[in-house]
Amino acid sequence: MFALGGIFSNNVLLGLPLAKIALGEGALAAVSLVLVFNSLLLWTLATVSVEWARHGAFSSKGLSKTVAGVVLNPIVGSILLGTAFGFTGLALPAFVDQTMALLGNAAIPLSLVALGMGLAGFGLAAGWRESAAMSCIKLVVHPLAVYAAARLFALPPLETAAIVMLAALPVGANVYLMSRQFNVLTGPVASAIVVTTALAAATTPIVLTLAGTRG
């Protein structure tokens, strides 16, 4: 959960509109790829880690419990089911699609409300060491690592700027939801989201400028 807080960004609420405004329509292809694979890979790895720590044993029983925990995780399960349904080429009935759209639109603001309520219960001082370390990794180490990887693989300037900008964004609210689900580092994660969101208003433009000029 600590590692997830250090690398999972607020890509949907902040990344997508910011990329469109700051980098233009051309950057949306790279951003879309990150959005597609980011949640699936990171949520799956995080869920596997937690479930293996809980049931971990190099045995068929321990492995089956881990696999069941991963598949039944709401985030991972919804991604897998949605992907499988997409490959069928079928369409949802109109009333089902509209109902799901309403629920989806309410999910993001409700998650922010849950985050605010949770933070009120913990306070910014909750686990401040873990929160400070998480914030430093998210706003400094993560963008630098992504920039180094982009240079290593010789990505074009626009794609480099796009992925570095995403890496420089604050911790995503979904990390808090997962920390609540597993009851792990809930206070530090909530604090890190608030701290990184406040600091990113100053650090993200700087990172974006540097990535754009050196990319």
The residues near 195 (Cβ < 8 Å, ≥ 6 apart) are: 124, 131, 132, 135
Distance from C-alpha of 172 to C-alpha of 196, rounded to nearest angstrom = 10
The amino acid present at 84, given as its one-letter code, is A
Check residue 137 and give its pLDDT. Answer: 95
**Entry field: residues in the chain:** 215
Q: In the numeric block, which tokens belong to residue 115?
A: 């985050």
Predicted TM-score (pTM) of the model is 0.73
Distance from C-alpha of 1 to C-alpha of 65, rounded to nearest angstrom = 19
Check residue 152 and give its pLDDT. Answer: 94
What are the per-10-residue average pLDDT scores of the chain (215 residues)? 89 82 84 80 77 65 66 70 82 85 77 69 72 93 93 91 91 83 84 88 84 56
Burial 63-78 (b: 16+ CB within 10 A, else e): eebbeebbeebebbee
Check residue 122 and give its pLDDT. Answer: 63
